[in-house]
Amino acid sequence: MSQFRPNIARQSLRDKVVLVTGGANGIGASLVEYCCENGAYVCFGDTGIAAGEQLSKRLCESDSSSSHPRAIFLRTDVTDYQSLLYLFDAALKAYGCIDHVVAAAGIMEIGNCFDPALDLKTVREAPTTKVLDVNLVGSIYVSRIASVYLRQSRPANTDRSITLFSSLAGFKESPGLFIYQTSKHGILGLMRALRLYLSNSPVHNIRVNVVCPWMTATGMADGVCEGWVKAGLPLNTPLDVAKVTAGLLVDSSLNGKAMYVEGGRAWEIEGNLDRLEPQWLGEEPSRSLAKGQAVLGQGMDWAK
């Protein structure tokens, strides 16, 4: 498996319009700042109002020469479809187009859905769906809206992309993170469902990729990072992950890829899944599967 080395020349992001959800803190904030520093215009949303407004103000003050604000922040709840539409509308109104969309909003596990203390009485109360709503449903909402807004005021051959955020938990077990892990598996499923559908469509022509960070020094990892470092394990900084994400935005050859990010380095995992399929699935079922996938790819529309 070859290492992915982002090649981000300043001109590759210059004057691009990037929309980011979850952009006020952590990886999202680092991505917003990194894109702006490399000449992009960024419209970003988050529920963290104070942090978002402060970041937007600082980025605009650092570049007052532009005719457009370098960064725009709106309070955005990714579980609220209308709230997301306001964010996309703001970007389109301010900049006239959107080139790339990044769904970086996410939260960690809430409580223990399979608490051993549950009994016949307490199990009758339904668990919260907030983690699924933010991590997975929010990403579906963002992707759906992006599939339309990325097409506005842009020629069909213009490079456009959607980048989603999964995790190591999207493809490896994470005991105790029951709903979080389910949501992150779902992100990979969403990318796989969209990568050919959107990129091969003459109407859409949109690339879709996924970032899968391992342990990253953000607020979501509070209480874990110190022991992690003491154990000699690799730790990402938010900027590490932001640079990999930006690399996906600027490389028009990348579609349907999943980048595993560990200690500031990244590896693409989808290619090896395909290449090694005859080994882990078996040669005979792999051949049969390939034939079936070819049939499914011949213009079948399951929505009808």
CATH number, domain with residue 53: 3.40.50.720
* pLDDT < 50 positions in the chain: none
The DSSP output letter for 217 is: S
Q: What is the pLDDT of residue 301?
A: 61
Q: What is the pLDDT of residue 296?
A: 77
**Pair type for strands 100-103 and 17-21:** parallel
**pLDDT tens digits for 139-148?**
999 999 999 9
Q: List the beta bridge partners of residue 300.
A: none
Cβ-based neighbour number of residue 93 at 10 Å: 10
Q: Is residue 250 part of a domain?
A: yes
Q: What is the pLDDT of residue 243?
A: 95
Cα 266–Cα 270–Cα 276 angle in degrees, nearest 5: 115
Q: Is residue 61 part of a domain?
A: yes
Q: What is the pLDDT of residue 9?
A: 61
Q: What are phi and psi of 3, to 5 degrees?
A: -75, 140
Tokens of 117: 């203390």
Q: What is the pLDDT of residue 299?
A: 57
Q: Is residue 218 part of a domain?
A: yes
Q: Is 166 a catalytic residue?
A: yes
User: In the chain, what percentage of residues exceed pLDDT 90?
Assistant: 70
| Cα–Cα distance, 111 to 47 (Å, whole number) | 21
Q: Which of 161, 166, 167, 183 is catalytic?
A: 166
| Cα–Cα distance, 211 to 285 (Å, whole number) | 29
DSSP helix, strand, coil percent of the chain (3-state; round to 5) = 45, 15, 40
- Smallest CA-to-CA distance from 165 within 218, 210, 131 is with 210
What residue ranges in 11-68 does DSSP mark as E strands? 17-21, 41-46
**pLDDT tens digits for 176-219?**
899 999 999 999 999 999 999 998 877 888 999 999 999 888 87
Mean pLDDT over each residue of the chain, to the nearest integer: 91
Q: Is residue 140 part of a domain?
A: yes
Q: Which residues contact 31 (CB under 8 A, 6 or more apart)?
A: 20, 23, 102, 104, 241, 242, 245, 246
| Cα–Cα distance, 180 to 186 (Å, whole number) | 10
Q: How far is CA 138 from CA 28, 103, 177, 190, 303, in A?
A: 15, 8, 19, 12, 21
Q: Is residue 303 part of a domain?
A: no
CB 267 within 8 A of CB 118: no
- Smallest CA-to-CA distance from 303 within 132, 144, 142 is with 144
Q: Which of 184, 243, 257, 260 is catalytic?
A: 184
Q: Is 184 a catalytic residue?
A: yes
Cβ-based neighbour number of residue 296 at 10 Å: 10
Q: Is residue 262 part of a domain?
A: yes
Q: Is 16 a catalytic residue?
A: no
Q: Domain of 72? A: 6-296
Number of structural domains the chain divides into: 1
| Cα–Cα distance, 148 to 19 (Å, whole number) | 13
Q: Is residue 1 part of a domain?
A: no
Cα 229–Cα 27–Cα 160 angle in degrees, nearest 5: 140
Cβ-based neighbour number of residue 99 at 10 Å: 21
Q: Which of 149, 180, 183, 260 is catalytic?
A: 180
- The full length of the chain comes to 304
Q: What is the pLDDT of residue 224?
A: 75
Q: Map residue 130 onto helix, strand or coil.
A: helix
The model's pTM is: 0.94
Q: Is residue 304 part of a domain?
A: no
